[in-house]
Amino acid sequence: MRKDSAWESIIREAYAASRGLGIPTIGMDDGYVLYSTAFLVSLRFGRLKAMDAGAGAGFSTVWIARAILESGIEGNVHAVEKTSQRFKSLKSLVAKHHLEGLITPVNGDAFDHAGKVEELNLVFIDIEKEQYLDFFRLIKSRIPRGGVVLAHNVNHPYGTVEVFLKEASQGVWRTIIVPTQAGISISVKTG
C-alpha cells in the first residue's frame, strides 16, 4: 500500500500538471470531498466502480483512486478526458505511478463512454456546464440505490447547473451542496 506521502506527491504532481496546462482544476477542498465520498461509497458497496467525467490531467481522478486503495476494497475509476493534450498528461501520470489497476484513462467523450461501462456506483461530473443535466439524465438510471453522483462548480448558476440540481433533488434523489469555493454537490440515490 502506498504511504500518505506518496499520495500527497502524486496529488501535487497532478495539480501542477493541471495548472501547467491551464486547466481550471478542482480545489484541494473539493479533492477532500471527492476522497471522503468515494471512500464511504467504497465501503458501502464493497467495491467502487467510478467515472470521472472531465478528468483533465487527473487531479480529481487521483483523489478517487486513493480512496479505492485506502478503503482496502476492489475498484476502478474510468478517467474520461476528450482533450488530447490533457489526456496525454493523465495517461502519463497513471503510467509513471503504476496506477493502471486503479485508473483506466479514456481519451473520449464522457457521453459516449458512459454507455460502455458495465457498472457505476460513483460518478463525478466536471464537464461543460451546459451538459450537466443531459449527462445526469444519461447515467442516473444506471446508478444503484446508495450510489452517488457528484458535480463540480455548482455555486455558479450557468449552463444547466440549476436545472441539474433541481432534478437531482427529486424523486429517489437527495442532494446537498458542500460549500467549497466552487461548490460541489453530492447526490445520493435513495430508492
The pLDDT of residue 1: 42
Burial class for 118, CB neighbours closer than 10 Å (0-12, 13-18, 19+): exposed
φ, ψ (nearest 5 deg) of residue 7: -65, -40
- CATH code for the domain of 171: 3.40.50.150
| 3 state DSSP class of 119 | coil
Assign 141 a pLDDT band (cuts: 50, 70, 90).
Answer: very high
What is the DSSP secondary structure assignment for residue 18, as one 8-state letter? H
Q: Is the pLDDT of residue 66 over 70?
A: yes
pLDDT in tens, 112-124: 999 999 899 999 9
Helix/strand/coil for 128: coil
pLDDT for the residue 40: 98
- Indicate the average pLDDT of the chain: 95
Range of the domain at 19: 4-189
Beta strands 184-189 and 148-152 are antiparallel
pLDDT of residue 32: 97
What pLDDT digit, counting tens, does each position of 1-59 carry? Answer: 456 788 999 999 999 999 999 988 899 999 999 999 999 999 999 999 999 999 999 99
CA distances from 56 to 21, 118, 129, 134 (A): 9, 23, 15, 20
- Residues 72 and 146: beta-carbon distance below 8 Å: no
Confirm whether pTM is higher than 0.85: yes
- Tens-digit pLDDT profile for residues 146-163: 999 999 999 987 889 999
pLDDT at 138 over 70: yes
* Domain count of the fold of the chain: 1
Phi, psi for residue 125 in degrees, rounded to 5: -100, 120
